[in-house]
Amino acid sequence: MNTTPMSETRKSRRESRNFIFLFLALSGIFFLHFITGCKQPHGEKRGVTAFSSPISDTISFLRKIDSISIFLKTGDLVFRKGNDFASQTFANMNRVDKRFSHVGIICMEKGTPMVYHCLGGSFNPDQKMLREPLVQFLIPEATKAWGIYRIQNMSQNQKVAILLDSLYKLGVPFDLKFDLKTDNRLYCSEMVYKVLRSVVPGIFLRVSIANGIPYVSTETFTQSPTAQQILFCELK
């Protein structure tokens, strides 16, 4: 049977649409498979879904990070807990949620989730603000647990991106004194705290007090009613 160029064009368009629908369906199934293979930990509050997933090798880890990247947005918060003594110490500074010791902000750049964060110590010799791919931020060899939270009703994603880019280009150093009153140096949760307060009017973020000194920790965000947990994983 002979076909006309017009019918061939219609056929090609149908095949293209079918391919797009199939791709989106498979992406959704892969993401659901990733999260439903996890379990709800004990003690989770506010009805938020949390997941625990053993990741046995780097290839599996990379695939799972890649599978969730399309669901991430600029302004999402990413948390982690390292497997070193310092990470455990910082995690224990939290009064309620001791799952995390470090936090950064995700910025989607050409489809790739990049993490902006402030880090001190031997992990970052020049002490300047870091910008690195999410997969590097969550490297499994040095991470025990990680999670992603989304700030509700945040529409200033572009402003977040501009602020992060400005801070990074300024080379803002890590605040070794953990002084919340100064802006020329920032520690990890302080940077996130100040960025969010500048782009989300009226956001509720509780500041903790220790020996009369105010500070912000990772639970400043995880315990905030304006932050919604969308993913939590333990690496085993």
pLDDT in tens, 123-155: 888 999 999 999 999 987 788 999 999 998 888
Who wins on pLDDT, 223 or 65?
A: 223
**Lowest-pLDDT range of 179-183, 190-194, 206-210:** 206-210
In this prediction, residue 96 carries a pLDDT of 92
| Alpha-carbon gap, residue 32 to 71, rounded angstroms | 12
Strand pairing class (227-234; 130-133): unpaired
Map the chain to HEC letters. Answer: CCCCHHHHHHHHHHHHHHHHHHHHHHHHHHHHHHHHCCCCCCCCCCCCCCCCCCCCCHHHHHHHHHHHHCCCCCCCEEEEEECCHHHHHHHCCCCCCCCCCEEEEEEEECCEEEEEECCCHHHCCCCECEEEEHHHHCCHHHEEEEEEEEECCCCCHHHHHHHHHHHHHHCCEECCCCCCCCCCCECHHHHHHHHHHHHCCCCCCCCEEECCEEECCCHHHHCCCCEEEEEEEECC
Q: Closest Cα partner for 161 from 228, 114, 231?
A: 114
CA 217-90-189 angle, 5° bins? 30
Which tokens hold the place of 43? 């003690």
Who wins on pLDDT, 206 or 30?
A: 206
C-alpha of 136 from chain center: 12
| Alpha-carbon gap, residue 74 to 72, rounded angstroms | 7
Q: Mind listing the pLDDT tens digit for each residue in 15-40? A: 445 444 433 433 443 333 333 334 33
- CATH of segment(s) 37-234: 3.90.1720.10
Which tokens hold the place of 197? 């307060």
Asked if 69 and 102 touch (Cβ cutoff 8 Å), the reply is no
In this prediction, residue 101 carries a pLDDT of 94
Q: Mind listing the pLDDT tens digit for each residue in 42-70? A: 334 433 334 444 444 566 766 777 788 88
Q: b/e map of 8-37 (b: 16 or more CB within 10 Å)? A: eeeeeeeeeeeeeeeeeeeeeeeeeebbee
Please state the φ and ψ torsions of residue 204, each to the nearest 5 degrees.
-95, 110
